[in-house]
Structure formats: C-alpha cells, structure tokens
Amino acid sequence: MTGKRNVIDTLPRPVVTLLSSLVAVLLALAICGVLLLVTGKDPLAAYRTILETGLTGNKLLEMLKRSTPLMLSASAVAIGFKMNLFNIGVEGQYLFAALIAAEFASRISAPPVLHVLLTLVVASAAGAFWASIAAMLKITRGINEVISTIMLNFISLSVMQWLFDNYMRDDSDGGLRVTTTEIAPSGQVPDIVDGRLNGMWLVALFVVFCYWLIVFRSKFGFRLRSSGLNSTAAQTSGIAANRMIVVAMLLSGAIAGLVAMQSVVGEEYAYGPQATPTGFGFAGIAVALLGRNHPVGIVVAAMLFGFLDSTSAVLQLSGIPNSIVKVIQAVVVITVVIVNEATSRYMNHRTAEQTAAALRADKVGT
C-alpha cells in the first residue's frame, strides 16, 4: 500500500535516470556534430557511417569483444568510487598482472579449465598486490590514493620492462619474439564465435554480476557504500575505515588484474609490450562514470564505448577522422556527468516535495 503513492505523478527514478543518460548521449552527439561541421565534415554522413557499419553482425560481435576489458576496468574503478576512493592505477595494475599471469601460465602445465582458472587467480592476485601498495601508503602514511596510483602506473611500467627484458622475454627464436613464451593450449580460452568473440566476455559479465552482488547486496558492500556516503557516520557506527580502504583497494586491484586477460589468454596467448592493449585503465574511469557505478550502467556504457571503437577503422576509410570517436566518448562522459547532476538535484527536490505531500495527504486523510 505504501509503495504505490510514489509512482502516482510521474516516472520512477530509474526510468528518469535512463532517460537522462539518453539525453546526455544525444547532447554529446550534437556537440560533436558541431565540431565536425566546423572542421568541414558532414556530421550526418559521419553518424550514418557509424550506424551503418556498426550495426552489422560482425561489428556487433566486435562491440561485445571490445566491451570485455572495459566492463572489467569500469567495475574495478567503480568499487573504489563507491567508497570515495579514486583508483587511477587500474592501468598499471592490469598491465603488471598481465605480465605476471602470462609468465605464470606459460610455465605451468595443468588440465584445461584448471589452467585458465589458476592463471586468472594469479592475474587477480598480481593486480591486488599492485593496488595494495597504494592502500598501504594511504592507511599508514595518509598519502592520497590519486597521487600514489598515478605514480604507481609509471613504476609498474618500469618494473615490467625490467622483468620482461631480463627474465620473462621469450628469446627461443633468437630474440625476434617480443612476447613472453606462448601459453599451452590447455591455458587458452576458446572463442564463442570464432575469431570474433572470446570466452572472456562471459567471464567479464560474471565479474560485473559479482560486483553487483558484493557491492549492492552483501554486508561488506553495505559497509563500503556507507563509508563512501558518510565516512563519519560509518566510523561512528563501528565500521573500521582503514580496513574498508584496504579491502576495497584489494578488490579493485583484483578485478583490474583481469582487464587484459582477454588478450593474454584469449588472443595472443602471451604478454608483449606491443601485443597487450593499453589505455583501458583510463577508459574504465570514463565507463564507470557513464554507467554511474551501477552494474547495468557499466555493461551498457562498455558496449557503447565498444561500439564506437569498433566503427573507428571504417570512419577513416570514408574520410572522416577516426579521432571523432574519442571525442564523442569524451564529450559523452562530460554531458552525462552534467545531465546526471542536474537530474539528481531535480529528483531529490521532487522526492522531498512528494514526501511532504504524502504526509499532508496522510494527515488530511486521518
């Protein structure tokens, strides 16, 4: 009986949120259209190309494939966001993890499924280890995690280069290979659709599901969110702030460790400075913002980014600079943040008014 009063006058909050995100995306497209016009390109032609090439079967599969690392990276960032921790170090964490996991996988022999599972566990552990450095710095020395994770990105790259050049590089063919030793077939994850979509996509979806379960449904998640919403109140009610920082950072790093695994165990079967993709750590921040740290939002946002990425090669063929894709992604993030802020203010106001109205109605009724 009580729940019904809220929906009387307009749409429920999730629908409004969804609509506002849609408006933000359209707004971003309009802004980028102006940019294209200014540079002398036809925006409609560009968007038509994006849609026409993007909406073919193969491209849609590519979109899903490209969304895999983005979903993982965004979940890693979002866990931090949920308690006001800004993990900008996903980049360094996943690259470090990719190297360690690739080396590990190439050195062990195990039955098929177990081999992959062990590799993924090692990747998560390596990512968590790298993230734990920032967590320790924060709780023991009070160092802001934004600074430390950014710097650890650089340290990660140097450490990896040293490890790779001296210990992990596969020189069996006379030094021509610039990757680690190839992982045996038992450690390789098969494609769902040959050459188009790898099994790691399902793993990523599963991780997003776990993210939802842990953050939105578990006791730990409740404490995490409480700490993020009001750290003083959380501490007062007995939630140990330092422990939450460490666990959140470790979880974030563990998920981050999986970001490049689609490449390592699903495509290249090795780590290589050129072979392993970079930049997903930062793209994940944008996807998490766009998806508002919500699991469904993250999946949708990752697909949107994957979709835009998948069309970028074709754009260039039709004479439109493919950097417009990056511009659209960037502008979308900005418009979404702005539109969401406006929407949430409006909605908060509406909720307050509706509550007051409901109470007045109650009083009149009785």
Partner 1 sequence: MRCGCVALCRGGVTVPQRGWVWQYLSMPDSAANGSASANGTAPAVELHNISKGFPGVVANRDISMTVERGTIHAIVGENGAGKSTLMKTLYGLHQPDSGTIAVNGTEVEFGSPSDAIDSGIGMVHQHFMLADNLTVLENIILGAEPATGGVIDSREAARQITELARSLGVEIDVNSPVAELGVGQRQRVEILKVLYRGAKTLILDEPTAVLVPQEVDELFENLRRLVDAGTTVLFISHKLDEVLAVSNRITVIRQGTTVGTVTPAEVTRRQLAEMMVGSDLPQPEPRTSEVSDRVRLEVKNLSVSRPGRRDLVHDVSFAIHSGEILGVAGVEGNGQFELCSALLGREHSNGTVAIDGKDVSHASVRDRKNAGIAYVPFDRQREGLMLTSSLWENNLLGQEEKFTKYGFVNVAAARAACREVISRFGVLTPNEDVPAFALSGGNQQKLVVGRTMSMNPAVLLAAHPTRGIDVGAQAAVWEEIRTARDAGLAVLLVSADLEELLGLSDRVIVMFEGSVVAELSPRDATPELLGSYMTGAKVAAR
Residues of the shown chain interacting with partner 1 in the complex, contacts defined by CB under 8 A: 2-3, 5-6, 213, 217-220, 222-223, 225-226, 229-230, 232-240, 348, 351-352, 354-356, 358-359, 362
In the complex, the smallest distance separating the C-beta of residue 339 from partner 1, rounded to whole angstroms, is 18
Q: What minimum distance in Å lies between the beta carbon of 337 and partner 1?
A: 17
Q: Nearer Cβ to partner 1, position 232 or 274?
A: 232
User: Looking at beta carbons only, is 278 or 344 nearer to partner 1?
Assistant: 344
Q: E strand or H helix at 156, and its extent?
A: helix 145-163
Q: Give whichever of 58 and 242 is closer to partner 1, judged by the CB atom.
A: 242
- Are the beta carbons of 83 and 246 closer than 8 angstroms? no
Helix axes 13-38, 323-365, angle to 10 degrees: 150
Contact between residue 340 and residue 24 where contact means Cβ atoms under 8 Å apart: yes
Q: Residue 12 Cβ, how far from partner 1 at the closest point, in Å?
A: 11
Angle value at C-alpha 291, between 304 and 233, nearest 5 degrees: 170
Cα 89 to Cα 7, 72, 127, 281, 362, distances in angstroms: 42, 14, 10, 7, 51
Closest distance to partner 1 from the beta carbon of 234 (Å): 7
| Residues sharing a CB contact under 8 Å with residue 5, sequence separation 6 or more, in sequence order | 354, 358, 361
Smaller CB separation from partner 1, 47 or 222: 222
DSSP code of 6? G
Nearest residue (CB) to partner 1, 10 versus 351: 351
Cβ neighbours for 199, distance < 8 A, ≥ 6 positions apart: 189, 190, 191, 192, 266
CB of 227 to partner 1, least distance (A): 10
Our CB check for partner 1 shows the closer of 220 and 282 to be 220
Cβ 246 vs Cβ 226: under 8 Å? no
> Shortest Cβ distance from residue 355 to partner 1 (Å)?
4
